[in-house]
Amino acid sequence: MKIVITDYEFPNLNPEHDAFKNLPAYDLVEAKCTTPEECAVACKDADGVLNQWNHLTADVINAMEKCKVIATYGIGVDKIDVEAATAKGIYVCNSPDYNKVEVSNHICAMIMALSRQLFQSDRLMRQDKYGWMYLDNELHRPNVQTLGFIGFGRIARQVAQKMSDAFQMNIIAYDPFLTEEQVASGRGKKVDLETVMRESDFVSINVSLTKDTYHLITKKELEMMKPTAYMVNCSRGAIIDEHDLYEVLRDKKIYGAALDVFEVEPIPSTHELMTLDNVIMTPHSAWHTRESMWEMQWGAADQVAKVLAGQEPDHCVNLEAVKKVLGK
């Protein structure tokens, strides 16, 4: 069985080999692709594919002659044309649980760094400006502030629990797929999107990137925010219109933002957001610890191993549709 890894940034592939150890025989190919065209060539005769950053377009998938499963390193499958894969009877799998604590911790850290203006304090001290009086913005106790979520899934609920338990923050959430009771079970109050934007002191984006959430947040929504509010995004960069966010931050219509994700990654050093001093940026690293990396690698590879062994995958975004195509 030929398994192709289109690209990866891990120190080794030990987790993959561990996940594949019960396969009767396999050839693990490190393709090191950087373009869809390279992916199409590398994956043409693959039985299974693992992918991290490449875009597996319809052309790439249609070039696959015998692929049974594609697994992404991570949760989001926005880099894979799921519709094209489904039409060819290819399972598309992910690793939904690998970062079960890391991203929520990162979001909490970003909220507190913004709240305490830690990065600005550091910069000011290096300029011989010592004291709270040099800070641009007023500081407030978290227990008088509201944390609003756009999307209230597993990670958002962890953040809500941590910030409400530790800092007594008020929690509100917009999630059209959840009931009031489901939001309440996560320590929050269900509200509409406009209410989240208008009433929150911190807005955390926690939705997947789909055609419906692409540029969900534009200048219209950003200008609803309090002038003292902050935006936090550890989900996907394209959920916010980055130019609109830049203009709102540049004009100081909100206090600031903390971003771990960007529309184009790596974000270019010449990007307009790089010129602002009221933005904290991290390099799509909210997920990362030694433990989460192992779980992500092993979890994605395990889905490939299951399918190639004739089993049903555990974490598949198109399971029922593919079973229908395959007549199962």
Look at residue 319 and give its three-state secondary structure: helix
Exposed, middle or buried: residue 91 (CB in 10 Å: 0-12, 13-18, 19+)? Answer: buried
Q: What is the DSSP string of 154-204?
A: HHHHHHHHHHHHHH--EEEEE-TTS-HHHHHTTT-EE--HHHHHHH-SEEE
Q: 279 vs 24, 71, 140, 216, CA distance in Å?
A: 51, 33, 19, 20
Look at residue 122 and give its three-state secondary structure: helix
Q: Which amino acid is at 239?
A: I
User: Which ranges of 202-278 does DSSP label H, i.e. alpha helix?
Assistant: 219-222, 242-250
**Nearest C-alpha neighbor of 134 from the set 282, 277, 281, 280:** 277
Is position 215 annotated as part of the catalytic site?
no
Residue of 187, 284, 295, 315 with catalytic role: 284
What span, in angstroms and rounded, lies between the C-alpha atoms of 146 and 140?
11
**Nearest C-alpha neighbor of 55 from the set 31, 75, 38:** 38
Measured from the Cβ of residue 32, the count of other Cβ atoms closer than 10 Å reads 11
Whether the CA torsion 105, 110, 114, 120 is positive or negative: it is: positive
What span, in angstroms and rounded, lies between the C-alpha atoms of 135 and 139?
9
Residue of 106, 157, 187, 236 with catalytic role: 236
Q: 161 vs 53, 108, 147, 179, CA distance in Å?
A: 31, 10, 11, 18
Residue of 83, 194, 265, 320 with catalytic role: 265
Is position 138 annotated as part of the catalytic site?
no
Is position 154 annotated as part of the catalytic site?
no
Residues 98 and 292 sit within 8 Å (Cβ to Cβ): yes
Q: Which residues are catalytic?
A: 236, 265, 284
